[in-house]
Amino acid sequence: METPEAILKIKNIEVKYHEVILVLKGVSIEVPKAGIVALLGANGAGKSTTLKAVSGLLKVEDGEVTDGGIEFEGQMIHHEHAAKIAKMGIVQVIEGRKVFEHLTVEENLKVGAHLRKTGSVKDKLELVYHYFPRLRQKRNETAGFVSGGEQQMTVVGRALMTEPKLVLLDEPSMGLAPMLIHEIFNIVTELNQEEKISILLVEQNAKLALNVAPYAYVMETGRIVMDDTAEKLSQNEDIKDFYLGLTDKGGRKSFREVKHYKRRKRWLG
């Protein structure tokens, strides 16, 4: 996708862990300013690694961008430290709802507040409670004891406290009931539309992702194998068959077709 007003440009990056394990093999992704882009793919494809390359968290795991580059608002950031990248306005919501379990919900939110550039902590809390009314109700409860959905809201809320320009959102739907997933995705859409926050969303659930993101990339074993508008991807036969569980063909496919599909299906899990 070529767009001049991209806030983030991942340009043909190669990523290695421990100097030898090659995980990303030339990945290019663009996120438009105030846009939502989804990154789809099966377990182990390299989606989280891509997000960590952007946020700088890769370095914590002895990973490194060994080729290509990452540009955020015109500045190359792939050699910067995570703290500097966070200050520039990029926040990663890591997979698996990592709350500080012994702190209250509100204390968890306040942890994100030191990175904000404007307004008081109180203003920022109000903003989070505006988007997540459930968190206002639960604000004095210990985060380790609220529901999974509320923990997920807490980590997204904590990210919002940092006044981000770009949120890297890793599998927000994981392990949550459909109603809650729906609620969280609605809020994510509102944050994008009303606060103009750009979002790079990693999801295994293609149906969800293609509902909120107008554009998506599909990753397989460290490479982007497809990228298109959500509309076109939703019509793609492979996506329909293996991701969305829909098919207009009905009948059995020929062996050759199945073999071909199987080869292409690896990223579909």
Where on the chain is the footprint of ligand ATP (CB under 6 A)?
17, 21, 23, 41, 43-49, 61, 95
Q: With both helix axes pointing from N to C terminus, report the angle between 148-161 and 178-195 in degrees, rounded to the nearest 10.
A: 10
Taking alpha carbons only, the member of 30, 7, 22, 11 closest to residue 64 is: 22
Q: How far is CA 29 from CA 68, 69, 72, in A?
A: 12, 11, 12
- Looking at the Cβ atoms of 17 and 100, the one nearer to ligand ATP is 17
CB of 60 to ligand ATP, least distance (A): 9
CB of 114 to ligand ATP, least distance (A): 27
136 token code pair = 């206002």
- Looking at the Cβ atoms of 51 and 230, the one nearer to ligand ATP is 51
- Looking at the Cβ atoms of 73 and 95, the one nearer to ligand ATP is 95
140 token code pair = 């004095």
CB of 252 to ligand ATP, least distance (A): 31
CB of 48 to ligand ATP, least distance (A): 3
- Looking at the Cβ atoms of 23 and 184, the one nearer to ligand ATP is 23
Euclidean distance between CA atoms 238 and 101, whole angstroms: 41
Task: Please tell me whether residue 198 adopts helix, strand or coil conformation.
Answer: strand
CB of 213 to ligand ATP, least distance (A): 17
- Looking at the Cβ atoms of 42 and 115, the one nearer to ligand ATP is 42
CB of 80 to ligand ATP, least distance (A): 19
Strand partners, 219: 41, 224
- Looking at the Cβ atoms of 41 and 157, the one nearer to ligand ATP is 41
Helix residue ranges per DSSP H, the chain: 47-55, 82-88, 105-111, 121-131, 133-137, 148-161, 178-195, 206-212, 230-235, 237-238, 255-265
